Structure 1
Amino acid sequence: MDSNLRGKVAVLTGASVGIGLAVAEGFAAEGVNLVLGARQRERLEQVAADIAARHGVRAVPVTCDVATMDGVAALVDAANQQFNGADILFNNAGTGSNETIMEAPDEKWQAYWDLHVMAAVRLARGFVPSMKRRGGGAILHNASICAVQPLGYEPIYNVTKAALMMFSKNLATEVVKDNIHVNTINPGLVLTPDWVKTAKQLTQDAGGDWEGHLQQVADEFAPIRRFATPAELADFIVFLCSERASYSVGSTYFVDGGMLRTV
C-alpha cells in the first residue's frame, strides 16, 4: 500500500529510542524527511545520521526538552528553518511515574503536566500554522492505555495521559477545518529499553531473570501474552499519519494486545 508520504516532513519528540526511534525508522522507510527531538545529544545525533544514511532522507537532530517553552521553540524553529514547517507531528515524549497521591509533591505533578500536556499544547501552537500553509497535516499524540485503564502505582502518569487524550480530542475539532487530522494512540505493553531496564533492576537480587519477569507481566495483563515490538506500533502510527487515514479525526486507537478490559 502506497502511503503517499514521500517528501513529507515529520517532527517526532522522544525520537532517539524506543517507540520514537521505531516510528522515525518507519517514516524514513516511506521517504519522509525528519526533525528529531530528544534530550540526549550524542545518541540523537547518531540516530539521525544513521537513519539518513540508510534511507536517503534528511534527518535533522534537535537536542531539546519539550517540557519547556525553550525546548518547543527550538524544535519549531529547526523545522521552519530547514523545511519551512512540517506536515506531520508525532507527540511522543513522555515517561512513567511511581508515587502515591498522598505523598507526591506539587513539583512532580507539574513536571509531568508540562511533559505530557503542555508540550502537546505548545507544539500544536508551534506547528499548526505551518501545516495550514502547506495545505494540511496530521498530528498524533502518544498517550497510553493508562489514560482509561490506570495502573495503581503511577497516578500522575494516568492523570496526565488522560488529559492528553482529551486535549487531542479538542484540538481535532478545532483544526479539522484546516485539513489537519488529529488523533491519539493508546499503546499497551511495548518492549522499550525502559521496560528492560526496570525488569533488570527488579530481578537483580532474585536471580536476574528479567525476561521471565516481563513474561509474567505479559501473562497478567495482555491476552496476547507478549509485549509488542516498537516496530509493530510504528507500522500503525505511520498509517494513521498518512492520507490513507484521512477520515480519522479525533479518534483514539488502542494497540494493546487485548489489554483493555472494556469495549
Structure 2
Amino acid sequence: MDLGLTGKIAVVTGGSIGIGLAVAEGLAAEGADVVIVARGQERAEAEAARIAAANGVRAVAVAADVATAEGTQTIIEATKAFGGADILVNNAGTGSNETIMEAPDEKWQSYFDLHVMAAVRLSRGLVPHMKAKGGGVVLNNASICAVQPLSYEPIYNVTKAALMMFSKNLATEVIGDKIRVNCINPGLVLTPDWKKTARQLTADTGGDWEGHLQTVADVHADIKRFATPEEVAHFFVFLCSDKASYSVGSTYFVDGGMLKTV
C-alpha cells in the first residue's frame, strides 16, 4: 500500500527513543525525510544517521528542549532550512509522580510547558509552512491517562487532557487550510522509561522487573501485555498518510483494551 509519504518532511519530537523513534523509523520506511528532535544531541545524531542509511532518506537531528520557547524556535528555524514541515508529531513527554496537595507550582508549570506549550508553539511555528505547501498533518501524542487517569500522576493526567483538547481546537482552526490534526492516546507501551521504572521498583525484591510489568499489563490491559513502540507507530504513520484523509479532529485509543468506557 502506497501511503503517499515519499518526500514528505516530518518533524518528530522526542524522536531519539521510544515511541518517537519508532514513528521516525516508520515514516522514513515509507519514504519521508525526518527531523529528529531530542535534548541529547549525540543520540539524536546517531539515530538520524542510522535511519537515513537504512531507508535512503534525509534525516537530520535537532538538539532542543521543546519545553522552552527558545527550543521550539530552534526547531522551527531548522525545519525551515530543511524545506518546511509537511508533518508534525508532538511526541515529547514523560510521566510524573506526585500528589496534588504536595506538588509545587513549578512542577505543574514544567509539565504544562512540556506537554502543552511545546505543541502550541511548534504548531504556531510550523503550520504556516504546511499551509504554504498546500496542507499537512499534526499528530499529538497524549495518553489514555487523558481520560482514564492513574492516581499517582495527576499532573501528567491533567496536562495530557489539555493536549487532547488543544488537538480538537487546532483541528477546527486549520482544516480549511487542508491541515489535518488528530490526537493519539496510547495505553501501555514498553518504552525504556517503563523498563527503567520497573527495574527500580523491583531492585530490593529480587529484580524481577519483567514480572512486575506483566502484573501491570494483567491488571490494566485486556490484551495482557504491553505494546511495542513499533505497534503504536504503525498507527501514527497511517494517520500521517493520504489513506487517513477523512480523519480530522479525533482522538484515537491504541491501548489493548485498557480503556474501560465506550
TM superposition score normalised by structure 2: 0.99
Partner of 2:25: 25
How far residue 248 of structure 1 moved from its aligned partner, in angstroms, is 0.5
* Whole-angstrom CA distance in 1 between matches of 2:99 and 2:58: 44
Aligned partner of 2:250 in structure 1 is 251
* Cα offset, 1:120, TM superposition: 0.6
Residues 60-118 of structure 1: CA deviation (Å, up to 9, x unaligned): 100000100111011110110121x1100000000000000000000000000000000
C-alpha deviations, 1:18-55, integer Å up to 9, x for none? Answer: 00000010001001001111001111110011101111
Give structure 1 regions of 4+ aligned residues with deviation exceeding 6 angstroms.
none
Aligned to 1:163: 162
Partners of 1:45 and 1:124 lie apart in 2 by: 24
- Tell me the residue number matched to 1:143: 142
Instruction: For residue 15 of structure 2, give the secondary structure of its aligned residue in structure 1.
Output: coil
Amino acid at match of 1:125: R
1:48 counterpart residue number: 48
Q: What displacement does 1:7 show?
A: 0.5
1:62 corresponds to 2:62: yes
SS of 2:7 mapped into structure 1: coil
Q: Does 1:110 align with 2:109?
A: yes
Instruction: Measure, in 2, the Cα distance between the counterparts of 1:178 and 1:86.
Output: 14
CA–CA separation in structure 2 for the residues paired with 1:150 and 1:156: 10
Indicate the percent of aligned positions where both proteins have the same amino acid.
73
Letter in 1 for 2:45: E
Gaps of 5+ in 2: none
Superposed CA RMSD in Å reads 0.4
How do 1:189-204 and structure 2 match up within 5 A? 189-204=188-203
**1-structure distance, mates of 2:184, 2:93:** 13
Partners of 2:55 and 2:259 in 1: CA distance: 36
The alignment status of 1:95 with 2:94, answered yes or no, reads yes
Amino acid at match of 2:69: M
Match of residue 130 from structure 1: 129
Match of 2:85 in 1: 86
Write the distance in 2 (CA, Å) between the matches of 1:253 and 1:145: 9
Work out the CA distance in 1 between the residues paired with 2:48 and 2:74.
Answer: 17
Give the TM-score of the pair, scaled to structure 1: 0.99
1:151-192 CA distances to partner (integer Å, 9 max, x unpaired)? 000000000000000000000000000000000000000000
Match of 1:227 in 2: 226
Please list the CA deviations of residues 185-222 of structure 1 after superposition, one character each: whole Å capped at 9, or x if unmatched. Answer: 00000000000000000001100000000000000000
Partner of 1:14: 14
Gaps of 5+ in 1: none
Aligned residue for 1:99, secondary structure, equals: coil
Show the counterpart of 2:174. 175
Aligned residues, how many?
262
Deviations 1:112-144 (A, max 9, x none): 000000001001101110000100000000000
Question: How many angstroms apart in 2 are the aligned matches of 1:3 and 1:77?
Answer: 28
Which AA in structure 2 matches 1:15? G
Where 1:190 maps in the other structure, the secondary structure is: coil
Matched AA of 1:48: A
1:240 maps to a residue whose letter is: L
Name the SS of the counterpart of 2:6 in structure 1.
Answer: coil
